[in-house]
């Protein structure tokens, strides 16, 4: 599988390096570098941690390679930056595995993480500058990142802690306020994608953690009500929905993105226009939010469907790991991380293909964006960490029955 | 040159598609197979009460660890749970089982010798962790789970 991924990167980059008629050494070197990083990242993980879930790793590295190839075709500078982020994110992935393997739950640290997560989101609301309509970019010391990405990881850990066991009433109230406040502030700062993501993950984890159907339904109702209310309260929410209903009416103004995205997908057809032969520059934000449309244009819609299938396999693997987990906290942690990644890909792919109103968030593993890449790999680290824990427990079990683990 | 590039790019898109299809199929089939195998191994591991480490005997079991379940018949016949293909072992030679009070017992089924720590067996006796049992020429050390 990994060999195929490497072949994919190398052949795509070899093709791309001849795109302008002459041989472009930069892209060829980029292709070699990418292969090296992917090979190293995967094999080191398998070497350091015996029980790492290889399938999950292969899927996320393949998705990342597709993203990198596409970025190399669009803009080689962005691609190189993204490759560095991938390498950095992999280190974070290893660290997360070690931390999750050691930790049972984070106890009192949870309150600190809660404060941290809310602080980050609030900080973004107060100080961030606006990119593409949402106030979620913060620049510190020349490095710009999205605080909501880091808040995502903290949110999962805190939620898993509170749903794992019955906590004191006060703690639960604090937690409920925290979750509500996070979503509210995200809506206020016009980061609707992230707001939807937090609310959805909260509801799914609530259902998984408590198993109370009625309350979940009520929560769904509240979320729906909140969505309707924000439709009437905030003009920017209303515009989004109106554009979604009929993007062609606004095709020169706000609907431009969706219309161009749809046209790109249609232009690609079943097998795509061929790598380097499409017109991705016609699609706005083609390196992050709309990268799915660009991939569909050049690789074809079937390739796009396969990407969705890979996300599905990823989700199923996550669920299996969650069900094997030893403690409720671990199970919920993996469940939450899987849900967050799958919901995120659903929200943005759905937005691009006009299934749901478009809200700008990144496509996990594929889109350009440093903080997004690192956050996604941290979530994978959580999943892998619990899997390593499971594997070690099973190994002890098998040894007791006289078996060997190869 | 651009014509050549176009032709290559058009041809290569099928290659990219094939790679993606193989990866998705491979990932799915490996997942299913791995899940099944793991389930099976873990089911045996979880329901086992311990294992026999074969110290000497026929080549095919020499050095192996054989998991013990709640009830195991030991013998040369194919219907035995634990099979030792050795002339010194009867078709149905011995039985190791978990008794109702939670101790693990061993008894003799056939005419062949069964010894526990060198003492010839008559009827059924309990066995403990690290006992040495012999079935004919097959020698094994017993490892039991705690509890």
- For chain B, the structural domain boundaries read 1-47, 48-144
pLDDT at A131: 62
In a domain, A228, yes or no: yes
Per-residue confidence (pLDDT) for residue A123, from 0 to 100: 80
Name which of A94, A73, A82, A95 is nearest A33 in CA terms. Answer: A82
Give the torsion sign (CA, A92, A95, A100, A105): negative
Other CB atoms within a 10 A radius of the CB of residue A5 amount to 24
Mean pLDDT over residues A257-276, rounded? 86
**Gap from B103 CA to chain A (nearest CA, Å):** 17
Residue B48 near residue B145 (C-beta atoms within 8 A) = yes
**Which residues have C-beta within 8 Å of that of residue A11, sequence separation ≥ 6?**
B12, B15, B16
Provide CB contacts within 8 A for A221, sequence distance 6+. none
Given a contact cutoff of 8 angstroms between Cβ atoms, the answer to whether A297 and A273 are in contact is yes
Contacts of A404 in chain B (CB under 8 A): 65
Residue A184 pLDDT > 90 = no
pLDDT of residue A309: 94
Q: Do A299 and B31 touch (CB under 8 A)?
A: no
B5, two tokens = 């590039």
Angstroms from A17 CA to nearest CA on chain B: 10
Position A172 in a domain: yes
Residue A176 domain-assigned (yes or no): yes
Helical (H) or strand (E) element with B67: strand B65-68
Check pLDDT > 80 for residue A402. Answer: no
Q: CA-CA distance, A324 to A383, in Å (whole number)?
A: 12
The alpha carbon of residue B33 is apart from the nearest alpha carbon of chain A, in Å, by 12
pLDDT level of residue A274 (50, 70, 90 thresholds): confident
Instruction: Pick from A319, A320, A401, A405 the residue to mutate for testing the B interface (most B CBs within 10 Å).
Output: A401
Q: pLDDT digit string (tens) for A12-58?
A: 888 888 887 778 888 888 999 999 999 999 999 989 988 888 899 99
Question: What does the DSSP assignment read for A224-261?
Answer: HHHHHHHHHH-HHHHHHHHHHH-GGGGTTTTTHHHHHH
Facing residue for A15 by CB, picked from B12, B34, B45: B12
Are the Cβ atoms of A4 and B19 closer than 8 angstroms?
Answer: yes
What pLDDT, on the 0 to 100 scale, is given for residue A62?
93
Q: Provide, as residue numbers in chain A, all residues whose Cβ is less than 8 Å from the Cβ of B12.
A: 11-12, 15, 274-275
Q: Which residue has the higher pLDDT, A405 or A317?
A: A317
| pLDDT more than 70, % of chain A | 95
Mark yes or no for CB contact B31/A4 under 8 Å. Answer: no
| Contact: A400, B13; criterion CB under 8 Å | no
Lowest mean pLDDT among A137-146, A168-177, A324-333: A137-146
Reported confidence tier of residue A89, pLDDT bands at 50, 70, 90: very high
Q: Residue A136: which pLDDT band, with cuts at 50, 70 and 90?
A: low
Residue B2 predicted with pLDDT over 80: no
Structural domain contains residue A112:
yes
A303 touches chain B (CB under 8 A): yes
Q: What is the mean pLDDT of chain B?
A: 86
Give chain B positions within 8 Å (CB) of A313: 24, 27-28, 31
- What predicted TM-score, i.e. pTM, was given to this entire model? 0.85
Task: Summarize the confidence of residues B32-36 as an average pLDDT.
Answer: 89
Among residues of chain B, what percentage have pLDDT more than 90? 10
Give domain B48-144's CATH number out of 2.60.200.20, 3.40.50.720, 3.40.50.2300, 3.40.50.10860. Answer: 2.60.200.20
Contact call for A271 and B13, based on CB within 8 A: yes
Residue A146's domain spans which residues?
105-400
The C-alpha of B4 sits at a distance from chain A's nearest C-alpha, in angstroms, of 9
From A92-101, A148-157, A170-179, A199-208, the region with the lowest mean pLDDT = A170-179
CA nearest to B47 within chain A: A401
pLDDT, position A140: 61
The total number of structural domains in chain A stands at 1
CB pair distance less than 8 Å for B143 and A402: yes
Is the alpha carbon torsion for A227, A232, A233, A234 positive or negative?
A: positive
Segment B14-37 shows an average pLDDT of 90
Query: What pLDDT digit, counting tens, does each position of A343-388 carry?
Result: 999 999 998 888 888 877 889 999 888 888 999 999 999 999 999 9
Share of chain A above pLDDT 90, in %: 28
CB contact under 8 A, A55 and B23: no
**Which residue from A65, A51, A50, A58 is spatially nearest to A11, judged by alpha carbons?**
A65
Averaged over A173-199, what is the pLDDT? 85
pLDDT for A141: 54
Q: Hey, are the CB atoms on A394 and B10 less than 8 Å from each other? A: no
- Cα(A79)–Cα(A99) distance, integer angstroms: 30
Asked if B120 and B135 count as a contact pair (C-beta separation under 8 A), the reply is no
Taking an 8 Å cut-off on Cβ atoms, the answer to whether B13 and A317 are in contact is no
Which residues from A are below 8 Å from B31, CB to CB?
55, 313, 316-317
**Alpha-carbon distances of B32 from A313, A317, A394, B36, B83, rounded to whole Å:** 11, 10, 18, 6, 30
pLDDT at A343: 92
Helices (H) then strands (E): counts for chain A: 15, 3
DSSP readout, A50-89?
Answer: TT--HHHHHHHHHHHHHHHHHHHHH-HHHHHHHHHHHHHH
pLDDT for B1 equals: 53
């Amino acid at each position: 599988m990994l060999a195929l991924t490497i072949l994919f990167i190398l052949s795509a980059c070899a093709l791309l390096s001849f795109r302008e008629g002459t041989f472009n050494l930069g892209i060829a070197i980029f292709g070699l570098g990418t292969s090296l990083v992917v090979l190293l990242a995967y094999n080191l993980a398998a070497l350091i941690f015996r029980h790492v879930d290889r399938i999950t790793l292969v899927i996320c590295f393949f998705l990342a390679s597709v993203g990198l190839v596409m970025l190399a075709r669009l803009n080689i500078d962005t691609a190189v930056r993204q490759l560095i982020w991938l390498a950095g994110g992999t280190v974070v992935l290893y660290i997360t595995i070690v931390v999750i393997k050691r930790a049972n739950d984070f106890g009192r640290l949870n309150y600190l993480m809660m404060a941290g997560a809310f602080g980050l989101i609030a900080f973004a609301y107060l100080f961030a500058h606006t990119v593409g309509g949402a106030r979620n970019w913060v620049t510190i010391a020349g490095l710009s990142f999205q605080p909501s990405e880091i808040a995502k990881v903290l949110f999962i850990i805190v939620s898993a802690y509170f749903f794992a066991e019955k906590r004191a009433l006060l703690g639960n109230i604090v937690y409920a306020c925290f979750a509500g406040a996070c979503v509210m502030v995200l809506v206020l700062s016009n980061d609707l994608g992230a707001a939807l993501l937090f609310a959805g993950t909260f509801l799914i984890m609530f259902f998984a953690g408590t198993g109370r159907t009625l309350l979940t339904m009520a929560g769904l109702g509240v979320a729906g009500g909140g969505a309707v209310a924000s439709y009437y309260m905030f003009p920017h929410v209303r515009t989004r929905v109106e554009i979604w209903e009929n993007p062609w009416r606004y095709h020169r103004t706000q609907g431009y993105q969706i219309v161009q995205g749809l046209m790109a997908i249609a232009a690609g057809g079943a097998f795509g226009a061929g790598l380097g032969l499409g017109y991705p520059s016609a699609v706005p934000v083609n390196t992050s939010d709309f990268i799915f449309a660009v991939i569909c244009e050049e690789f074809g819609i079937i390739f796009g469907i396969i990407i969705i299938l890979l996300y599905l396999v990823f989700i199923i693997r996550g669920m299996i790991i969650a069900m094997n987990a030893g403690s409720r906290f671990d199970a919920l942690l993996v469940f939450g991380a899987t849900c967050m990644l799958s919901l995120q890909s659903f929200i943005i792919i759905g937005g691009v293909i006009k299934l749901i109103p478009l809200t700008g968030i990144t496509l996990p593993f594929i889109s350009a964006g440093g903080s997004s890449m690192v956050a996604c790999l941290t979530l994978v680290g959580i999943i892998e960490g619990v899997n390593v824990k499971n594997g070690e427990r099973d190994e002890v079990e098998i040894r007791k029955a006289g078996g060997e683990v190869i | 040159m651009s014509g050549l590039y176009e032709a290559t790019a058009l041809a290569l898109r099928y290659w990219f598609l094939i790679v993606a299809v193989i990866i998705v199929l491979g990932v799915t089939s490996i997942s299913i197979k791995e899940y099944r195998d793991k389930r099976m191994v873990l089911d045996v591991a979880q329901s086992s009460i311990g294992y026999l480490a074969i110290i000497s005997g026929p080549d095919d079991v020499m050095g192996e660890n054989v998991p013990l379940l709640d009830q195991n018949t030991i013998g040369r016949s194919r219907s035995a749970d634990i099979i030792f293909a050795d002339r010194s072992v009867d078709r149905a030679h011995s039985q190791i089982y978990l008794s109702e009070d939670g101790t693990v017992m061993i008894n003799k089924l056939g005419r062949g010798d069964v010894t526990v720590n060198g003492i010839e067996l008559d009827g059924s006796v309990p066995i403990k962790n690290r006992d040495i049992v012999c079935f004919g020429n097959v020698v094994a050390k017993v490892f039991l789970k705690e509890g």
